[in-house]
A and B are shown apart, each in its own frame.
Chain A
Amino acid sequence: MALVTFMIAAPLLVGLGGLLLPSTSKARFPAAAFGIAAAAISLLCALTLLATTSRPISVGTTWISFGDLTVTLGLRADLTAIQVAVAVTAVALAVQVYSVGYLHRDERYAPYAAQVSLFTAAMLLVVCADDLILLLIGWEVMGACSYLLIGHDRSLPEAPAAAVKAFLVTRAGDVGFLLGIAFLAVHAGSFEIGTVLAGSYPSWIALLLLAGVAGKSAQFPLHTWLPDAMAGPTPVSALIHAATMVASGIYVVARLYPVFVQSPLALSVLGLVAAVTLLLGALAATAQDDIKRVLAWSTVSQIGYMAAALAIGAPGAAIFHLLTHAAFKALLFLAAGCVIHAVGSNLMSRMGGLRRNMPDVFWCTVIGLGALAGLPPLSGFWSKEGVIAAAAEARDGHGQVPSWIALVVWVAALLGVALTAWYSTRLLLRVFFGPVPAVRAHEPDAVPEKPAPVGPAFVGKPTYLELEAARRAKALAKTAVADEPDTQSELPAPRPLDPPALMHWPVMALAVPSALLGLVALLPDARADLALAAPHVSLSLILAIALLVAGAVPAWWLWRRRPDSDPAGALGRFRPLLANAFYLDQIQDHLTVRPVRAIAAAVRRLDESVVDGAVEGTGRGATGLGALLARAHRAPLPRAATALLAGALLLGLAAAILGGAA
């Protein structure tokens, strides 16, 4: 049990301590060393637990009582929790190591590394919490860390807005989550998850919880923050997308599954949301030019698969996809970081032909994309297959949800396979094949278009693009007129661009599970641990593979005809629609952000003019009345004398009458 506590405490303490380090280059080394050490310790703890634990272990002590509701400081680690913890800590370690190379020139590295550690600790807390409040703490601290990390890059003008959006959209979902937790606890009389899960609850509690899950796991309609979150440094994207944040929502549904199982309504809603999200993400990914945005939308889509699995009663399949996705999405983001690093741009239209420059990164990306698309025998194939097979089973009426929901999920999952294959192929071809676009070397703003995500450079030596920029500057100085020199002739191909070791090795290491993790589905023991069904050849499997080919081949064929063009050009008029993800962002802006702002402005005016106006008016009225009375008392002598006499007369009269009466 100490291991579980230690696993969470190590990154937590390092994170809190690291926040105190100054943001100077001197603090870089300790910050990096502590960050890596904490992640490594956590990973070791998690692996030890995985190797030694056979039954759930838990520990708990009373924390605080509010009335008769007791909050416990309880942790629980069952097999699923430990598996997820291994994924979290492994990705965290890779990210910590990778960041040292990636943010080489970032002087604010100390807070960055500390925040990554805190982020890891918060996710581990969510994974191991045995109390709803403790879970909520991890849940929200993660939101805060994502806010800090997405906003880390101070040279990106869109970063602060993206950070705020990430926090606020998830926080909006958390309104439901908090209420859901409150209702659960009040119904069950306890915050302890074990006690809570034993109770029975109405559907709307599960629906409230789903609001929070949709926010954190970027499910429609609360998915809009995730693509914008790409403003964060690439390793942070890897962390958010692979193992923490977005995975937490899925994990929490799996953890609280008994609450959801009671409610076919909630599961049906989840299924529909998942189907929409899955297709929405995949469609949006087809038309992006920014490589990170392609990956971001693919995350939205893949999380949709996991949510779909949960909805159709297969939490085991959801967790398995979560694990494989953690591996291959981390791999893809870190590999994309290497590419961005070398090229100096996020845009695929400025990449191309990089397979010979960076062969290792190329092969790792091939593995990652293959796993993402579900290419057998890579990991993603097995896990996605599990989801589709479960959907097929539920479609035949073996699940908790109505079979038409399962049918929708099944169709969406299959369509998603084709779309994923299409955009994965497109990404691979656009980045690593084809000609080097002229723009990469010759457009004045090509280098560095967004300096900061690129700026942290290769350790110790100037980047290719910096050399290129220096050379071009020299050339420009000589000839004031830019006379379009031929790209190919000036580029001594292939120039090695493979990243430095600190970035190289995490990528290589992540390629191993991305490729092989799926094979555990073939081991009966592991399958039992993961609560998976045995893979078998079925209609779904054949359909999935056929759709995979049907998605990949057109992309390849389009590219083959014109290697310098974007296969997304074939989308024609729909391209802007897809590139803007059906304008849901704008719709959200119009339906929520602007009305709230308008209401806020109106309320402020009302508060100042009416509520405070009444107060000020009372004051002014009293002063005015006083002035009036004061004026009435300032009378000239004759009138004053008359008034005095009249008063005396009146008093005397009154005295006479009253006295006479008495």
Chain B
Amino acid sequence: MSADLSSALLVAVLALPVLGALAVALLPAARDRQARVLATVIAALTLVVAVPLRWGTAESGWFGDGPPVAGPWALLDLPWVPALDLRFQLGVDSISYPLVVLTSLLTLLCCGYTIWRVPPGGPGRLLSALLLVIEFGILGTFLAFDLVLFFVFFEVVLLPMYAVIAVWGGTHYGPDSAEREPQRAAARKFALYTLFGSVLLLVGVLVLVTAAGTSSMIGFPRLDRGTQVFAFTLLLVAFAVKSPLWPLHTWLPDAHTQAPTVGSVILAGVLLKMGTYGLVRVGLGAAPQGAEVLSGALGVLAVAAILIGSLVCLAQTELKRLIAYSSVGHMGFVLLGIATMTATGIQAALLGNIAHGVITGLLFFLAGAVKDRAHTGSLDELGGLRENAPRLAGLLGFAAIASLGLPGLAGFWGEAFAVVASVQRGGGLWTTLGALAAFGGALTAAYLLRLLRRVTHGPASPAVSLLVPSWSVAGALSAAVTASQPGSGAGSDSGAEKPAVAGLPERLVPGWPTAAELLAWSPLVILALLLGVWPALVLSGTDAPINDLLEMVRP
């Protein structure tokens, strides 16, 4: 592929969502559904242009003459703020490419899901538009090769996400359904907490840029050790908030619990990855020796996150909150992999990043589906899902088993090899950390099986007994029961009023997944399986850039 074409693709990947978001938001309210379809089309186009980036080779790619150099496959380099010597540098390499594709895919799925179902709170087209803006910010973060540009994109995501949680979030049933306070508080906490991290990120970036005299991450000069340690400390805290790393994680459970399903999916699926990606790209890339100095502390905190996250999950009683906390544990494995500062560990972290995005995205979709149907997320009130919603329960079982790191599924590689990498790093500290992390893996299994036992097994709880297992049963109950969804938003084609049928509970809910849901979930199911048997899908080509990173650490 020519360099021009790959540069054009890079521009398109960013331009499509941001221009699309504008178009979608400007459509009139009467065209709400069309607007959501348009957003989905744009998200699909973004995915279509993102995928071929794989085959782009810029001048500095490793297919040129001489020994392979770890440079981006595709690179766009334009002057941006000449007075400050800032450049608009975009690129993609094997570290960022899987994340770019995952972001485009999850945004597509979420936009598609929004066609079918808009959570109450605001117009659907605005939600779709915000999803596209978030995609723009996340993609920009993953593609930026300029430190200041990276920071700018990092910040773009914040406010749209705040709006998604504050406007479309919250529970819309139960006694306090009218009260709008909890999701606003959660959104505020998310925004302020992340802003606090951003301030440190800004300082860290500026320290690096002023010390190096350049903001480009390509060929970033080696800074003196003290500056590196200082900068990495700032970056570590900033990215730790985003990742999130214990003890800077407490914004996450609130945000996830209150966010609408699509918000949770994006949040867990890709937003958290900005933290771990930043740690590898900016942290290791620009301050490798600082990373080396602080790696022990990072490792200890990562293992603390694994253990504490798992233990909290074990005592958690709310479905979405449990899954949110599980992210703390899973991202702990990713951070442990990075902390080992070995090629094995960083590759495990990259794979763990993607696997967590796929699996936790799926888990949040399913949790949303369960909560939408049963109108409760409390583990005490759920139960017996496999009686009345066998397909849903089966999918939840699959996602949970994938999440607990069953070998052969996506989650396994990242977690097992984070442990292997700790062992490989050797020494008392890292061996202990590896052993504790492996123990955390057992705890992970414990809380996910507890989740399954509480939600899917046993007799159907009153909340679950409103669900009807299948079409045939529904038909047997009453031919008049339509496939209406509870609380489906305006413009949804299945949002017709439910007829009250004599002798039936008023709120009879289909227990089977709808076609739209299956469409949104199946790519994630397939990916969870595919990455399990074909991890090279993410990891191929990552050894060269990672070895380059590590060479800077230990020259």
Contacts and interface: CB of A to CB of B under 8 A. Distances in A.
A516 interface: no
Contacts of A171: 441-442, 445-446
B337 to A, nearest CB: 10
Nearest to A177: B438
Interface string A459-471: 0000000000000
Contacts of A139: 407
Contact of B408 (A141, A160, A175): A141
B450 A601 contact: no
Nearest to B328: A607
Interface stretch (A273-281, A310-318, A611-619): A611-619
Q: Which applies to chain A's interface (DSSP): helix, strand, loop or mixed?
A: helix
A601 B193 contact: no
A133 B417 CA distance: 10
Interface string A64-93: 111111000000000000000000000000
Q: Which applies to chain B's interface (DSSP): helix, strand, loop or mixed?
A: helix
A23 B390 contact: yes
B312 A160 contact: no
Interface residues of B, number: 58
B420 A137 contact: no
A63 B110 CA distance: 33
Contact of A596 (B247, B308, B314, B342): B314
B423 A137 contact: no
A594 interface: no
B507 interface: no
A610 B515 CA distance: 44
Interface in A596-616: 596-597, 599-601, 603-604, 607, 611-612, 615
A111 B456 CA distance: 15
A558 interface: no
Given A171-B445, A174-B442, A179-B435, A157 B308 contact: no
Given A144-B401, A611-B247, A67 B421 contact: yes
A167 B413 CA distance: 20
B496 to A, nearest CB: 27
Interface string B240-256: 00000011011100000
A130 to B, nearest CB: 16
Given A69-B420, A108-B390, A183-B423, A175 B438 contact: yes
Interface string B400-421: 0100001110001100110111
B311 A154 contact: no
A157 B348 CA distance: 40
Interface stretch (B58-66, B115-123, B205-213, B535-543): B535-543
Interface in B439-494: 439, 441-443, 445-446, 449-450, 453, 457-458, 470
B320 to A, nearest CB: 16
Contacts of B424: 67, 69, 182, 186
A604 B311 contact: yes
B261 interface: no
B434 A615 contact: no
B441 A157 contact: no
A59 interface: no
A607 B189 CA distance: 16
Nearest to B343: A67
A615 B458 CA distance: 39
Contact of B445 (A167, A186, A596): A167
A269 interface: no
Contact of B407 (A24, A65, A137, A154): A137
B146 interface: no
Nearest to A598: B315
A133 B543 contact: no
A326 interface: no
A201 to B, nearest CB: 13
Given A137-B407, A141-B407, A603 B442 contact: no
Contacts of A167: 445, 449
Instruction: Report the contact-size class of chain A (Cβ under 8 Å from the partner).
Output: 35 or more
B434 A179 contact: yes
B406 A603 contact: no
B408 A67 contact: no
B311 A600 contact: yes
Contact of A599 (B311, B316, B439, B453): B311
B103 interface: no
A175 B404 CA distance: 13
Contact of B439 (A175, A611, A615, A619): A175
Nearest to A611: B247
Contacts of B390: 23, 108
A252 interface: no
A600 B315 contact: yes
A603 B306 CA distance: 12
Which of B249, B345, B408 has the most chain A CB atoms closer than 10 A to its own CB?
B408
B458 to A, nearest CB: 6
Contacts of B387: 154
B458 A157 contact: yes
B336 to A, nearest CB: 13
Interface in B299-334: 308, 311-312, 314-316
A172 interface: yes
Contacts of B457: 151, 154, 159-160
Given A157-B458, A611-B250, A182 B434 contact: yes
Contacts of B312: 600, 603-604, 607
A63 B249 CA distance: 36
B192 interface: yes
Nearest to B253: A612
Interface in A135-172: 136-137, 139-141, 144, 147-148, 151, 154, 157, 159-161, 164, 167-168, 171-172
B394 interface: yes
Contacts of B251: 615
A561 B323 CA distance: 62
Interface in B373-399: 386-387, 390, 394, 397
Which of A67, A136, A164 has the most chain B CB atoms closer than 10 A to its own CB?
A67
A154 B457 CA distance: 7
A23 B249 CA distance: 41
Interface string A173-217: 011001100110110000000000000000000000000000000
Given A160-B453, A168-B446, A182-B423, A597 B347 contact: no
A161 B449 CA distance: 10
B407 A175 contact: no
A67 B308 contact: no
Nearest to A160: B457
A19 B343 CA distance: 37
Nearest to A155: B459
B250 A182 contact: no
Given A160-B453, A182-B420, A67 B347 contact: yes
Nearest to B337: A66
A66 B417 CA distance: 8
Nearest to A604: B315
Nearest to B443: A596
B438 A64 contact: no
Contacts of B353: none
A344 B345 CA distance: 55
A141 B398 CA distance: 12
B57 interface: no
Nearest to A62: B536
A615 B193 contact: yes
Question: Would you list the 3 A-B pairs with minimal beta carbon distance, nearest first?
Answer: A67-B343, A67-B344, A160-B457
11 contacts: A24-B470, A66-B347, A66-B421, A66-B539, A67-B347, A154-B457, A157-B458, A178-B438, A182-B419, A604-B311, A607-B308
Given A66-B421, A137-B412, A182-B419, 9 more contacts: A19-B394, A65-B543, A140-B412, A164-B450, A164-B453, A600-B311, A600-B314, A601-B315, A604-B311
Interface of A: 19, 23-24, 63-69, 108, 111, 133, 136-137, 139-141, 144, 147-148, 151, 154, 157, 159-161, 164, 167-168, 171-172, 174-175, 178-179, 182-183, 185-186, 596-597, 599-601, 603-604, 607, 611-612, 615, 619
